[in-house]
């Protein structure tokens, strides 16, 4: 992705080195399903595991970033700025006003309006404070553990979480949350999958305009599609337990995730992103 020398977003909050103790309680993170699966397979208690992952006491440690981390932070800021440019214009065309989210960079653990989350949660969006939370160390795991390399794989993750923000601004997340007490766990998992796939679609819409702006380089689209596939429920479950349980899916299969991102990339509009139509998946 062509990003160097371009302006980053002012809506970045750096909390790296400021660790908060407690139990992870935030939703919508790509990595959350991984820790749940591993914990349940081992017969452990999720709260106990996360207590071990996250320090029990508030800790403030002076943070010294490496040159590589500094470059990654700059890249994430530029990607966030690109989402602001694209979604401001799309919302304007639809008669809405886009309110950009704040992206919070953290290490180890973080306090959000959705609760305390550890790094194992992965990047996530909290609708209560309209912030995207990212531990930059996740992107090393994305490459080393899931084989999703390249800067546009990282851009896809950021764009996906911003996609949740778009859903929030459009009232979609409120509609989904209102159903949580009315549905069985299996039914709610299905709704969760549709919400995640729509965020993938919206990430693809963003990428469509980034391509039009001339910022994509050869291989970038493939990097994003590979990343979307790498974090599919079926692929993660197969890696961690050797078999898949479709009724427990909360994010969608590898095929679904990459397909909906590509669909958004091809269309570049909001109208074709209705994953809540039962015929669409």
pLDDT at position 127 is 96
Rounded Cα distance between 208 and 212, Å, is 6
Rounded Cα distance between 148 and 153, Å, is 6
Rounded Cα distance between 134 and 104, Å, is 6
Q: How many residues does the chain have?
A: 281
Q: Are strands 124-126 and 131-134 parallel, antiparallel or unpaired?
A: antiparallel
pLDDT at position 61 is 57
Rounded Cα distance between 36 and 25, Å, is 12
Contacts of 207 (CB under 8 A, 6+ apart): 152, 155, 156, 159, 216, 221, 224, 261, 264, 265
Q: Are strands 102-105 and 12-14 parallel, antiparallel or unpaired?
A: parallel
pLDDT at position 59 is 52
Rounded Cα distance between 5 and 78, Å, is 9
Instruction: Give the pTM.
Output: 0.84
Contacts of 188 (CB under 8 A, 6+ apart): 179, 180
pLDDT at position 29 is 54
Q: Are strands 102-105 and 131-134 parallel, antiparallel or unpaired?
A: parallel
Q: At what angle do helices 46-53 and 32-41 cross, to 10 degrees?
A: 120
pLDDT at position 51 is 47
pLDDT tens track, the chain, 281 positions: 999 999 999 999 999 988 775 433 334 455 555 554 544 454 455 444 444 444 444 455 568 889 999 999 999 999 999 999 999 999 999 999 999 999 999 999 999 999 999 998 899 999 999 999 999 999 999 999 888 999 999 999 999 999 999 999 999 999 888 887 888 888 989 999 999 999 999 999 999 999 999 999 999 999 999 999 999 999 989 988 999 999 889 999 999 999 999 999 999 998 888 888 877 88
Element of type H or E holding 134: strand 131-134
Rounded Cα distance between 55 and 53, Å, is 7
Identify the CA nearest to 118 among candidates 43, 2, 31, 182. Answer: 31
Rounded Cα distance between 58 and 255, Å, is 41
pLDDT at position 146 is 85
Domain ranges of the chain: 12-267
pLDDT at position 55 is 43
pLDDT at position 37 is 52
Identify the CA nearest to 135 among candidates 114, 121, 145. Answer: 121
Rounded Cα distance between 59 and 213, Å, is 43
Neighbour tally for 268: CB within 10 Å: 17
């Amino acid at each position: 992705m062509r990003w160097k020398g371009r302006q980053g977003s002012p809506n970045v909050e750096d909390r790296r080195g400021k660790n908060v103790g407690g139990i992870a309680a935030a939703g919508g993170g790509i990595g959350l399903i991984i820790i749940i699966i591993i914990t349940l397979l081992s017969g452990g208690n999720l709260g106990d595991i996360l207590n071990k992952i996250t320090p029990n006491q508030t800790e403030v440690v002076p943070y010294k970033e490496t040159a590589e981390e500094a470059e990654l932070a700059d890249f994430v800021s530029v990607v966030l700025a690109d989402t602001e440019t694209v979604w401001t214009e799309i919302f304007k065309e639809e008669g809405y006003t886009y309110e950009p989210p704040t992206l919070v960079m953290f290490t180890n653990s973080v306090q959000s309006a959705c609760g305390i989350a550890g790094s194992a949660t992965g990047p996530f969006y909290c609708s209560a404070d309209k912030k995207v939370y990212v531990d930059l160390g996740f992107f090393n795991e994305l490459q080393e553990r899931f084989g999703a390399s390249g800067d546009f794989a990282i851009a896809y993750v950021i764009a996906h979480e911003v996609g949740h923000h778009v859903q929030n601004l459009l009232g979609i997340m409120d509609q989904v949350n209102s159903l949580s007490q009315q549905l069985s766990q299996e039914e709610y998992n299905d709704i969760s999958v549709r919400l995640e796939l729509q965020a993938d679609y919206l990430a693809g819409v963003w990428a469509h305009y980034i391509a039009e702006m001339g910022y994509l380089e050869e291989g970038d689209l493939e990097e994003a599609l590979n990343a979307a596939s790498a974090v599919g429920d079926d692929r993660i479950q197969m890696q961690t337990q050797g078999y898949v349980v479709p009724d427990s899916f909360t994010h969608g299969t590898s095929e679904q995730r990459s397909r909906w991102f590509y669909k958004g990339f091809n269309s570049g509009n909001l109208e074709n992103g209705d994953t809540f139509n039962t015929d669409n998946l």
